[in-house]
Amino acid sequence: MTAAAIMSFLLSAGTTVAAAIDQDPVKKTSNKPSSAGDVPSIALSGYVNTRYVFRTAETSSTGTIARDQDVLGDLRIDATTPRSDRYEFHFMGSIRKDLDGNRDLHTHHPLEDIGDTGSRHTTGYLYEAHLDINDLFTRVTQLRMGRQPGTRDEQVTFDGIAMDIRPASSMNLTLYGGAAVNFFEIYRSETRDTVAGAGLDLFPTTSTGISFDYAASRDKRNYLEMTDVQDKLLSLRIWQRFTPYLKGIVKYRYVNDEARDLNLRLLGSFPAAGTEIGASYLRQFNIQAEQSNALSPFVDVVGTSDPYQSYEVKLRQFIGKRYAFDLAYFKRDLIGSEQHGAFNREYSRSAAGFEVSDLLIPNLSLTLSGDQWRSPGRSFASGGADIGYAYGKKGNVMKINTGTFYSLYKYDYYLQFGERTNVRTYYVNMKVPVVKQVAVSLGYEYEDSIEQFQTFKAGIRYDF
Amino acid sequence: MISKGRLQQSRRVFFLCMSAAIILTAVAAGSADKVPFPRPDSHKGNWEQHHGINAQLNINEAGQAGSTCLTCHNKSDCIACHTTRMPRDHNNFWRTRGHGLTAGVNRERCLACHRQDYCIRCHNETAPRSHTGAWRTRHCTWCHFASGIKPADSCGVCHKIAPHTSRPSAHPPIGPQTNCAVCHP
């Protein structure tokens, strides 16, 4: 879909929303109707969200002020047919119009970002637009047609067809294929990418699952005149639920007939004790060179990825109904590599947080957080506080949040000249319902880092 | 034969009509109240930031229906939120420099949302902070500082092939004191 088409889409949506605001709220349907006759033939939900963003950047040394204005919009529609449960339609799209950004490739502008790339000021992204048919044939539980996010091992958005088949009650087979969608590729000729695959899920017991996945992707390349990339990914995933709230996952993957990585995870929740835990181990066995866009560990940009292993532990503990604290630790070690490169490093991260609900008055919350990571030649530390207040009933809640963050980056591009940057951020955000299903959002942020940045956001959202 | 401009105009009109029709249908048909009961207690406070463990624990496995999350949420809620909301540390410093420091130590985190084309697009079509003022005359020592042979790692993010990599072997060593402009005005 072209950007202009999406823009017109959202403009028409905005007009309709404005009209809806003036009218009485439409009678809502519910998932729990009082009788079968109340079940609507079509149920729609979703939202239209538009916002205006104004940013400035002031350079301390020269006092020069740069400005940038953007308009952004999102539209989401989920349509179902509750009576027959036969058809579903899902749509998710975003649009962005850059009102005055810098598009010169050769000069730095302190506010330019991904929205300022390319030759067009208006950019649209269509994430989902697929029609699903449930129980089309015996044992074909769902057929999905259109642009859709992959549901299997790798998240690849594609334009095509996917089919879920249930040959037996303890077995599921998914087949899919189509044109891979890479949203930010530069050249139109690079967009002729394809992806196809199959996934088989077996459930020997209700607490155990085994999944086999095969995916083949072909990535058309123009960047740096590289040749096209074709990859085959094989993965085996086993999950076991030990108790209703304790689950272990093992995943082993091969790429192009070579072992890629092993991932172990343990996830648990103990409601009686108010504890949530997560632990994981990841090991990449071999050097990963360039692969297709969906699989590449950013090799084109930061070079090959050296073998490593990482450990992560997370703990969230509730104390009573009002208090919670969080602890997290992550460690990454290189394997068999004597030299650290700029983008292959050992790294450790520690994080902690504390949260109080109903502080002094109901629905007032306070969150404190801290974060620190270290890596040879680089380190980072941050601390922040956030106060939030919510008022109102479901679907009509006013929220306000204000807070501050401080970050310190230390890094050495050259060992002789270590650099350090202090980043201080202050913000206030609020969401105010104006009528039922329509809310206005306002936000302001001040960031003092390399420049003094100010960001003002104003938006309106209609949920239907 | 229909001209290209007219074809594009027809497409715009078509999509305008289609979009208006969809929105009007949405409003006319009414809306489905997806959640028939209040939010669970677990969703209080900073739930958005800490929902990850619960999501991985309770989301339905492929081919299995009836998980806790899907009682209230749609399957596409995850991608809708993760594609439109940024993590808290993605501020302006992050955009201009911080992301590069983090990509060097934990590029796996980037893969949760981004793919390689995102990086290439921005690095190919925007200029970094260092490329201001008299950059052309300053860039020699920036790139060749210290070793004099191996270019600095940050240059290679965008410049895979430098125009002068085929310098003659007789080229004198390059260092901080080298005045490149003597030979390369």
Q: Is A388 domain-assigned?
A: no
One-letter amino acid of B51: H
Question: What tokens appear for B47 in the block?
Answer: 């739930």
Q: For residue B117, give its domain range.
A: 92-125
Q: Is A400 domain-assigned?
A: no
Region of poorest pLDDT, from A120-124, A332-336, B13-17: B13-17
Q: How many C-beta atoms surround the C-beta of residue A157 within 10 A?
A: 23
CB B54 within 8 A of CB B85: no
At A183-192, the pLDDT tens digits run 888 876 677 8
Say whether pLDDT at A360 is over 70: yes
CB A369 within 8 A of CB B50: no
3-state secondary structure of A63: coil
Q: Which residues 233-262 on chain A approach chain B with CB closer than 8 angstroms? A: 239, 245, 247, 249
What's the confidence (pLDDT) of residue B55?
81
Determine the residue among B11, B12, B18, B19 to mutate to test chain A binding: the one whose Cβ has the most chain A Cβ atoms within 10 Å: B19
> Cα angle vertex A343, ends A337, A346, to 5°?
50
Q: Are residues B115 and B76 in the same domain?
A: no
CB A354 within 8 A of CB A325: yes
**What average pLDDT does the segment B109-136 reach?**
83
Tell whether A331 is within 8 A of chain B (Cβ). Answer: no
Last residue of a domain, one of A272, A289, A315: A272
Domain count, chain A: 2
- Helix ranges (DSSP H) in A162-317: 299-302
Where is mean pLDDT largest: A298-302, B31-35, B140-144, B151-155?
A298-302
Q: Is B160 domain-assigned?
A: yes
CB A55 within 8 A of CB A72: no
Q: Is B7 domain-assigned?
A: no
Q: Are residues A153 and A220 in the same domain?
A: yes
What's the confidence (pLDDT) of residue A37?
61
The pTM of the full predicted model, rounded to 2 decimals, is 0.80
> Cα angle vertex B59, ends A46, A400, to 5°?
50
Last residue of a domain, one of B104, B125, B146: B125
- Helix ranges (DSSP H) in B30-166: 47-50, 52-58, 77-84, 92-93, 99-110, 116-125, 135-144, 153-156
Q: Is A461 domain-assigned?
A: no
Q: Are residues A210 and A261 in the same domain?
A: yes
Q: Are residues A101 and A8 in the same domain?
A: yes
Q: Find tokens 């990449």 and name the residue.
A: A284
Give the per-residue SS3 of B113-141.
CCCHHHHHHHHHHCCCCCCCCCHHHHHHH
Q: Find tokens 């909301």 and name the residue.
A: B85
Judged by CB atoms closer than 8 Å, whether chains meet at B53 and A149 is answered as no
- How many Cα atoms are found within 13 Å in the side-chain-facing hemisphere of A225? 2
Say whether pLDDT at A430 is over 80: yes
Q: Which residues 58-77 on chain A approach chain B with CB closer than 8 angstroms? A: 74, 76-77
CB B129 within 8 A of CB A108: yes
Q: Is A415 domain-assigned?
A: no
At B74-86, the pLDDT tens digits run 777 887 787 778 8
Question: What tokens appear for A251 in the block?
Answer: 């995943």
Say whether pLDDT at B134 is over 80: no
Give the separation between CA A30 and CA A27, rounded to whole angstroms.
10
Say whether pLDDT at B106 is over 70: yes
Q: Are residues A148 and A263 in the same domain?
A: yes
Last residue of a domain, one of A225, A242, A272: A272
Q: Of A241, A288, A214, A412, which Cα lies nearest the Cα of B152?
A: A412
Question: Which is more confident, B25 or A248?
Answer: A248
Q: Are residues A178 and A262 in the same domain?
A: yes
B122 chain-A contacts, CB cut-off 8 A: 113-114, 117, 184
What's the confidence (pLDDT) of residue A271?
84
What's the confidence (pLDDT) of residue A419?
76
Q: Is B11 domain-assigned?
A: no
What's the confidence (pLDDT) of residue A100?
83
Give the per-residue SS3 of A213-237.
EEEEEEECCCHHHCCCEEEEEEEEE
Q: Are residues B80 and B96 in the same domain?
A: no
- Measured in whole angstroms, the distance separating CA A199 from the mean position of its chain's CA atoms is 23
Q: Are residues A182 and A264 in the same domain?
A: yes
What's the confidence (pLDDT) of residue A121?
87
**Pick from A114, A347, A373: which is nearest to B122 by CB?**
A114
For chain B, report the end-to-end CA distance as a whole number of angstroms. Answer: 56
Judged by CB atoms closer than 8 Å, whether chains meet at A107 and B19 is answered as no
Contacts of A418 (CB under 8 A, 6+ apart): A410, A411, A412
CB A78 within 8 A of CB A90: yes
Polymer length in residues for chain B: 185
Where is mean pLDDT largest: A26-30, A345-349, B144-148?
A345-349
Q: Is B23 domain-assigned?
A: no
Give the separation between CA A57 and CA A445, rounded to whole angstroms.
12
Q: Of A342, A347, A353, which Cα lies nearest the Cα of A382?
A: A353
Q: Are residues A61 and A175 in the same domain?
A: no
At B27-54, the pLDDT tens digits run 444 444 555 566 777 777 677 777 887 7
Q: For residue A91, give its domain range.
A: 1-20+43-125
- Bridge-based pairing of strands A246-255 and A396-414 is unpaired
Mean pLDDT of chain B: 70
Determine the residue among A208, A233, A343 to mutate to test chain B binding: the one whose Cβ has the most chain B Cβ atoms within 10 Å: A343
**What average pLDDT does the segment B107-131 reach?**
86
At A190-248, the pLDDT tens digits run 778 899 999 999 999 888 999 999 999 998 876 655 678 899 999 999 999 998 889 99
**What average pLDDT does the segment A271-287 reach?**
92
Q: Are residues A267 and A145 in the same domain?
A: yes
3-state secondary structure of B18: helix
- Residue B48, CA distances (Å) to A259, B54, B78, B81, B85 in order: 35, 11, 11, 10, 11
Q: Is A357 domain-assigned?
A: no
- CATH number, residue A250: 2.40.160.40
Distance of residue A186 Cα from the nearest chain B Cα, in angstroms? 6
Tell whether A380 is within 8 A of chain B (Cβ). Answer: yes
pLDDT over 90 for what percent of chain B? 1
A79 chain-B contacts, CB cut-off 8 A: 26
DSSP character for A25? Answer: P
CB A297 within 8 A of CB A326: no
Last residue of a domain, one of A98, A125, A152: A125
- Helix ranges (DSSP H) in A236-365: 299-302
Q: Is B46 domain-assigned?
A: no
What's the confidence (pLDDT) of residue A117?
85
Q: Is A336 domain-assigned?
A: no
Distance of residue B127 Cα from the nearest chain A Cα, in angstroms? 5
Q: Of B33, B30, B37, which Cα lies nearest the Cα of A24?
A: B30
ipTM here: 0.83
Q: Are residues B139 and B178 in the same domain?
A: yes
Q: Are residues A112 and A145 in the same domain?
A: no
DSSP character for B107? Answer: H
Domain count, chain B: 3
Q: Is B163 domain-assigned?
A: yes
Say whether pLDDT at A414 is over 60: no
Q: Are residues A177 and A114 in the same domain?
A: no
- Bridge-based pairing of strands A323-334 and A347-356 is antiparallel
What's the confidence (pLDDT) of residue A24?
35
**What average pLDDT does the segment B78-105 reach?**
84
Residue in chain B nearest A294 by alpha carbon = B115
Backbone angles phi and psi of A217, in degrees to 5: -130, 145
Q: Are residues A205 and A248 in the same domain?
A: yes
Give the separation between CA B143 and CA B146, rounded to whole angstroms.
9
At A364-399, the pLDDT tens digits run 999 999 999 988 888 899 999 999 998 887 767 899
